[in-house]
């Protein structure tokens, strides 16, 4: 019998890659996406796309009951720190109430959920680095707060039901299909600036660091987490500053454009690096793509995508 899976946010950057990987593994895949930031063109034709908002509880429950998935990969989210500051209520509705709707619907079928949370935005600026999953979160933004609250529902539903739900706290994910306009992602934004010959703004004077992780590595981690109960950092354990990202992409482009330096925006972190030893130990997972190689691959692929716009 063919296994089935639901991917919420499956028309998005990371979600569409998860869909492709599940299809390649022989799953029958249903995508749930309201297309507010997702793009139906990203969804493989073999997948079944249902256009709906996870905040719409009855509609979501109906789809889950119909599909009877063996796993749900929950990536649908309001994913912008800046947008969460501007509209914290919508951020809460999608990230908290929407996640509750997902785990509640999954619980009726006994289906495990893999929930994508955030690493850097959750832990705050005072966390020791590398930061382990045991660090008590201290988010600086509504986005970080909503993801932390959503994690609590995922873990509570797992403990109370015995269904092995997993929380994957992602580093700064980058890679092909990332939208430089509708989704957070400095690598895609910088690539777009290089493509059009515009100088970017380097917030925090180019000094903030992030733990950048290639989307292909994230996908393999999410699939490895299916059916596991626990919270896992999914990143590389390597810190890279914004100026270095700009330089690496500029080298890949063969262009030199002097960036504009600016102060950090409200809710943004100074530094982030995650401890990934638990994921290595319990999921048998480790990242394969180093930052320089990943940035080169991403630049080349995104330029092809931009030229097809």
Q: pLDDT (tens digit, 9 = 90+) per residue, 126-180?
A: 899 999 999 999 988 899 999 999 999 999 999 999 999 999 999 999 999 998 8
Query: Going along 62-200, which residue ranges are E strands?
Result: 71-74, 113-118, 166-170, 172-174
Q: From the candidates 27, 143, 214, 232, which is the catalytic residue?
A: 143
Q: pLDDT (tens digit, 9 = 90+) per residue, 209-227?
A: 999 999 999 999 999 999 9
Mean pLDDT for the chain overall: 95
Are 81 and 154 members of one domain? yes
CA separation, residue 288 to residues 11, 130, 247 (Å): 25, 19, 22
pLDDT at 149: 97
Are 97 and 230 members of one domain? yes
Residue 200 has pLDDT above 90, yes or no: yes
Domain count, the chain: 2
Give the pLDDT band (50/70/90) at residue 309. confident
Task: Report the percentage of the chain scoring pLDDT > 70.
Answer: 99
Q: pLDDT (tens digit, 9 = 90+) per residue, 241-259?
A: 999 999 999 999 999 999 9
Global pTM value: 0.95
Residue 274 CB neighbours (<10 A): 32
Are 46 and 68 members of one domain? yes
Residue 9 has pLDDT above 80, yes or no: yes
CATH of residue 180's domain is 3.90.25.10
Domain of 40? 4-173+213-237+274-288
Are 156 and 195 members of one domain? no
Q: pLDDT (tens digit, 9 = 90+) per residue, 40-83?
A: 999 999 999 999 999 999 999 999 999 999 999 999 999 888 88
What is the 8-class DSSP label of residue 70? S
Q: pLDDT (tens digit, 9 = 90+) per residue, 258-276?
A: 999 999 887 778 899 999 9
pLDDT at 269: 80
Query: What is the C-alpha to C-alpha distance for residues 294 and 215, in angstroms, rounded to an integer?
Result: 9
pLDDT at 120: 77
Are 137 and 280 members of one domain? yes
Residue 183 has pLDDT above 70, yes or no: no
Are 165 and 132 members of one domain? yes
Bridge pairing between strands 209-210 and 240-241 = antiparallel
Are 230 and 265 members of one domain? no
CATH of residue 155's domain is 3.40.50.720
Query: Going along the chain, which residue ranges are E strands?
Result: 4-8, 28-33, 48-51, 71-74, 113-118, 166-170, 172-174, 201-203, 209-210, 212-214, 230-234, 240-241, 260-262
**Tokens linked to 155:** 């873990």
Are 168 and 189 members of one domain? no
Are 83 and 166 members of one domain? yes
Are 58 and 202 members of one domain? no
Catalytic residue check, 232: no
pLDDT at 171: 95
Are 25 and 165 members of one domain? yes
Contact 165, 103 (CB under 8 A): yes
Residue 184 has pLDDT above 70, yes or no: no
**Tokens linked to 54:** 């996870």
- Region label for 308, one of left (φ > 0), alpha (ψ between -120 and 50) or beta (otherwise): alpha
Are 196 and 284 members of one domain? no
83 or 22: which carries more pLDDT confidence? 22
Query: What is the C-alpha to C-alpha distance for residues 109 and 79, in angstroms, rounded to an integer?
Result: 28
pLDDT at 39: 94
Angle at 154 between CA 150 and CA 159, to 5 degrees: 145
4 or 266: which carries more pLDDT confidence? 4
pLDDT at 182: 58
């Amino acid at each position: 019998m063919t296994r089935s899976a639901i991917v919420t946010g499956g028309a998005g950057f990371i979600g569409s890659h998860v869909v492709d990987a599940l299809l390649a593994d022989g799953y029958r895949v249903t995508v749930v996406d309201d297309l507010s930031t997702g793009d139906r063109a990203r969804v493989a034709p073999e997948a079944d796309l249902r256009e709906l908002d996870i905040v719409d509880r009855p509609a979501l429950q109906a789809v889950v009951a119909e599909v009877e998935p063996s796993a749900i990969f929950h990536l649908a989210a309001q994913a912008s720190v800046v947008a969460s500051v501007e509209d914290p209520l919508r951020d809460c509705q999608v990230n908290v109430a929407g996640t509750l709707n997902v785990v509640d619907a999954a619980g009726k079928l006994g289906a495990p959920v893999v929930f994508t949370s955030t690493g850097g935005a959750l832990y705050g600026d005072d966390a020791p680095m590398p930061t382990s999953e045991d660090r008590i979160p201290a988010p600086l933004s509504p986005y970080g707060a909503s993801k932390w609250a959503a994690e609590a529902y995922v873990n509570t539903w797992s403990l109370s039901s015995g269904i092995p739900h997993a929380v994957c706290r992602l580093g700064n994910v980058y890679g092909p299909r990332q939208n430089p306009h509708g989704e957070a992602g400095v690598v895609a934004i910088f690539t777009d600036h290089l493509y059009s010959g515009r100088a970017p703004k380097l917030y925090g004077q180019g000094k903030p660091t992030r733990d950048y992780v290639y989307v292909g590595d994230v996908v393999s981690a999410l699939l490895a987490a299916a059916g596991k109960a626990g919270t896992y950092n999914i990143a590389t354990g390597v810190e890279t500053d914004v100026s270095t990202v700009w330089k690496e992409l500029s080298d890949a482009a063969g262009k030199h454009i002097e960036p504009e330096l600016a102060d950090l925006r409200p809710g943004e972190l100074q530094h982030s690096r995650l401890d990934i030893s638990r994921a290595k130990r319990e999921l048998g997972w480790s990242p394969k793509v180093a930052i320089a190689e990943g940035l080169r691959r991403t630049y080349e692929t995104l330029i092809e995508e931009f030229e097809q716009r």
